[in-house]
């Protein structure tokens, strides 16, 4: 009983800090989305969505790929300063190398990327700007991962707030004054200002960033330890971003850019209300499951998470559905009211996705790389494949129906992998005891 109460109190503490971070991020995101909706409309939102997906693919190599590994190993060596320096140095130097490689590809093939993202050569300056801004965006994210691993939650709240508020101010100002061009530029250069501000707000921890220049701290052992996490994160981020880009282009080709804007609006709203639940899986579940080695404790941790989250999900999602017209007018404008038709299936899909992603943290915790690759591959192939066929039958609604069906099959597949993992572990433990 004490174990249950202790774990539940830890979950509530993590939920509190996570809630503050998410609240600031959601408010800033809503302000940006409202500004973009008013000044640029659905078509502008769709083009910004393409840039967002493309940027997410790039940072999967330069920062996001190190998230789970950095948090885990910084936390594991919380009392070993020397090992922490090796981890931060290695991650920062890898990030810089990948940023430079991707930056060169962005700069010299800017015409190609402009055609892929915007169907026009008028935006060749965007990939070139991204080549410049990519290292700063990556270092901002890595700083957050390091602070998360060190469990410096108050400073984590400050850094996240600075990042989101600064980004909001830059994007909103440029969208109001320069429309689409301003939105595209603001999305990229915002992180540069954030990086400069972060150097000041980090205080005593700013020395972590200067490990970038300590070549002697680079460790191949750290690279090896983090390789599984790196591969899983890159694979997931890249395949999801590419899939979203393909589906958005599918909507544009089979319907029109206006419909793509409605779908992008639905995705943005979804990212706001689901953010708390998804981020809590990394904030709380990942470190807990990393220390859990038997099925009973695994079920206990998942039970605690589901007991807290499922009632909240039902209340929040039901409220969002019944208030969807009001929310669309408040957060966007009346031009986006057709998006209301997407809420039902999108909410069902998001509910299932939270249940599934909580379980998938076991893949990260126990380095279940094959299970992760197969399940995510199936999810994204199903999502695109079903979208390709259902869009002809149901129109834009077919995309969100495909989303819900894909995640239901994904959830079942993840459960099968986890049950198989523990059955195999029990057999190995029994064999070791016998011999």
Largest CA distance in the chain: 73
Q: In whole angstroms, what is the distance from residue 60 CA to residue 149 CA?
A: 19
429 pLDDT higher than 60 = no
Find the mean pLDDT for residues 360-369.
Answer: 84
Alpha-carbon distance 311 to 320, whole Å? 14
At 192-223, the pLDDT tens digits run 888 888 777 777 777 777 777 788 888 888 88
| pLDDT, mean of residues 414-429 | 81
**Residue 309, CA atoms < 13 Å, CB-side half-sphere:** 29
For residue 36 the two structure tokens come to 């973009």
Mean pLDDT of the chain: 85
Asked if the model's pLDDT at residue 183 lies above 50, the reply is yes
Q: How far apart are CA 372 and CA 233, in angstroms?
A: 10
Measure the CA angle with vertex 291, ends 289 and 295; round to 5°: 60
Whether residue 1 is predicted with pLDDT greater than 60 in this model: the reply is: no
Say whether pLDDT at 243 is over 50: yes
Q: 226 pLDDT band (50/70/90 cuts)?
A: confident
- Tokens coding 78: 């919380």
Question: Does position 9 have pLDDT exceeding 80, yes or no?
Answer: no
Q: At what angle do helices 324-331 and 295-322 cross, to 10 degrees?
A: 80
Q: How far apart are CA 148 and CA 152, in angstroms?
A: 6
Q: Which residue has the higher pLDDT, 183 or 30?
A: 183
Nearest 5°: phi and psi at 246? -65, -40
Identify whether the C-beta of residue 139 lies closer than 8 Å to the C-beta of residue 99: no
State mean pLDDT over 361-381.
Answer: 89
Report the candidate in 425, 384, 416 with the shortest Cα–Cα distance to residue 402. 384
Predicted confidence at residue 11, as pLDDT, reads 66
pLDDT at 339: 92
Number of structural domains (the chain) is: 1
Q: What is the mean pLDDT of residues 317-325?
A: 93
At 391, the pLDDT band (50, 70, 90 cuts) reads very high
Which DSSP symbol is given to 331? Answer: H
The pair of three-digit structure tokens given for residue 223, joined into one six-digit string: 């690279």
Dist. CA 267–CA 270, nearest whole Å: 5
pLDDT band at 311 (very low <50, low <70, confident <90, very high): very high
CA atoms within 13 A on the CB side of 175: 25
- Reference 399, options 384, 410, 412, 377; nearest CA is 384
Please state which of the ranges 118-122, 234-238, 366-370 shows the lowest mean pLDDT: 234-238
**Is residue 45 very low, low, confident or very high in pLDDT (cuts 50, 70, 90)?**
confident
pLDDT for residue 132: 93
- pTM (2 d.p.): 0.75
Q: Residue 215: give the domain boundaries.
A: 2-431
CB of 214 closer than 8 Å to CB of 89:
yes
Distance (Å, whole) CA 260 – CA 248: 6
């Amino acid at each position: 009983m004490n174990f249950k109460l202790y774990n539940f109190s830890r979950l509530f503490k993590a939920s509190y800090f996570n809630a503050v971070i998410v609240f600031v991020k959601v408010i800033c995101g809503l302000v940006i989305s409202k500004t973009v909706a008013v000044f640029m409309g659905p078509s502008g939102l769709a083009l910004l969505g393409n840039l967002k997906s493309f940027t997410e693919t790039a940072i999967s190599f330069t920062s996001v790929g190190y998230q789970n590994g950095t948090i885990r190993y910084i936390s594991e060596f919380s009392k070993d300063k020397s090992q922490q320096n090796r981890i931060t140095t290695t991650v920062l130097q890898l990030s810089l190398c990948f940023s430079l490689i991707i930056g060169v590809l962005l700069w010299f093939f800017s015409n190609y990327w402009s055609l892929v993202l915007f169907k026009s050569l008028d935006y060749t300056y965007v990939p070139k700007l991204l080549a410049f801004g990519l290292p700063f965006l990556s270092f901002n994210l890595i700083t957050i991962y390091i602070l998360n691993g060190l469990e410096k939650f108050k400073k984590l709240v400050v850094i996240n707030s600075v990042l989101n508020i600064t980004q909001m101010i830059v994007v909103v100002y440029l969208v109001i004054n320069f429309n689409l061009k301003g939105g595209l530029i603001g999305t990229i250069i915002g992180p540069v200002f954030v990086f400069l501000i972060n150097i000041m707000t980090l205080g005593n921890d700013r020395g972590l960033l200067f490990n970038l220049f300590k070549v002697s701290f680079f460790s191949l052992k750290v690279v090896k330890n983090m390789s599984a996490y790196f591969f899983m994160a890159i694979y997931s981020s890249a395949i999801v971003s590419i899939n979203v880009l393909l589906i958005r282009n599918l909507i544009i080709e089979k319907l029109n850019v206006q419909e793509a804007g409605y779908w992008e609006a639905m995705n943005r709203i979804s990212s706001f209300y689901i953010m708390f639940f998804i981020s809590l899986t990394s904030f709380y579940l990942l470190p807990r499951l990393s220390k859990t080695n038997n099925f009973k404790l695994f079920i206990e941790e998942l039970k605690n998470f589901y007991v807290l989250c499922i009632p909240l999900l039902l209340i929040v999602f039901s409220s969002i559905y019944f208030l969807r017209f009001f929310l669309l007018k408040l957060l966007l404008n009346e031009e986006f009211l057709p998006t209301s038709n997407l809420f039902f299936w999108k909410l069902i899909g998001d509910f299932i996705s939270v249940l599934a992603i909580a379980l998938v943290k076991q893949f990260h915790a126990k380095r279940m790389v094959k299970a992760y690759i197969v399940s995510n591959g199936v999810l994204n192939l199903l999502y695109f494949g079903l979208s390709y066929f259902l869009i002809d039958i149901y129109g834009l609604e077919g995309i969100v129906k495909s989303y819900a069906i894909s995640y239901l099959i994904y959830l079942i597949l993840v459960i099968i992998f986890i049950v198989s993992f523990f059955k195999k572990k029990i057999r190995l433990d029994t064999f070791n005891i016998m011999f």
